[in-house]
Amino acid sequence: MQTRNKFMEDISQLMTNAMGVAQGAKEEAETAMKSLLDRWLADRDFVTREEFDAVRAMAQKAREENEALKARIAALEAKG
């Protein structure tokens, strides 16, 4: 019976080691994929959300100023 317990302990240890190796490989693959994706995105010249929001705010302000100037021009033309 002692031999059987040793065999089961060896199998258990082997499975534990295999799971550790699999976990390490998974983490390494995730790191490699994240690095690859980061490089791919950097090469595409995508803007950050903050940059996009800043440009959008500038465009909105320019539209508002444009509308105000149109109204001012219309008022001046109506007088003249």
Encode pLDDT of 9-48 as tens digits.
Answer: 888 898 998 898 999 999 999 999 999 998 888 888 888 8
Which tokens belong to 78? 């109506």
* Prediction pTM value: 0.46
Are residues 52 and 38 part of one domain? no
Are residues 3 and 38 part of one domain? yes
Are residues 31 and 52 part of one domain? no
Are residues 42 and 58 part of one domain? no
**Residue 35 is part of which domain span?**
1-46
CA-CA-CA-CA torsion for 65, 69, 71, 73, nearest 10 degrees?
180
Are residues 28 and 7 part of one domain? yes
- What pLDDT was estimated at residue 62? 98
C-alpha span between 8 and 21 (Å, rounded) = 20
Task: Please tell me the total count of domains within the chain.
Answer: 2
- What pLDDT was estimated at residue 53? 97
Are residues 61 and 30 part of one domain? no
